[in-house]
Amino acid sequence: MPIDQNLPFIPLAIAVLTMSDTRTLESDRSGDTLVDRLTAAGHKLAARAIVPDDIETIRAQVKAWIDDPSVDVIITTGGTGFTGRDVTPEAIEPLFEKRMDGFSVLFHRISYDKIGTSTLQSRATGGVAGGTYIFVLPGSPGACRDAWDGILASQLDYRHRPCNFVEIMPRLDEHLKRGATP
């Protein structure tokens, strides 16, 4: 899809959260992949954290970033599989005001081209809460590259045509301003 060079690039403040019981900032290759890509694109790293695979801990960190007006986007990596410790969707999806079903569909379409039916082992998801975009990615550098390169790089670029997430950001919290809809 085309980039309209007549429009300005609008940098976003993006927070990166890794779910892992074992990774550190030094060994977090998936988080590094996201940070490298978002900063190379011209966005600002708003925050970065690693939390254990625990529903309440994950939810508390994501909620804190949703409530932080300086964070526009949250991208998480890890905990989207089917093992007992994979609880990221359970932690984050209840926070969604609106679910982004197309994100998961498109992520799996891109992933299928790379890893075939193994893409079924991911519960990648996306949504919006408190005017903040949230993307929940698997914990592999390859999955993070695929999601960024195939979806997020263009949708988080105001110049992307025919439409993008950035241009509707000012209207994401309209329902909060007028009261929640029934």
pLDDT in tens, 131-143: 999 999 999 999 9
d(C-alpha 61, C-alpha 95), whole Å: 12
What is the model's pLDDT at position 182?
47
The 8-class DSSP code of residue 27 comes to T
Beta bridge partners of 15: 47, 74
Unique residue bearing structure tokens 């927070």: 15
Q: What is the mean pLDDT of the chain?
A: 94
pLDDT in tens, 73-96: 999 999 999 999 999 999 999 999
Q: Rounded to two decimals, what is the model's pTM?
A: 0.94
23 pLDDT higher than 60: yes
CATH T-level topology, domain 13-178: Molybdenum Cofactor Biosythetic Enzyme; Chain A (3.40.980)
Given a contact cutoff of 8 angstroms between Cβ atoms, the answer to whether 100 and 155 are in contact is no
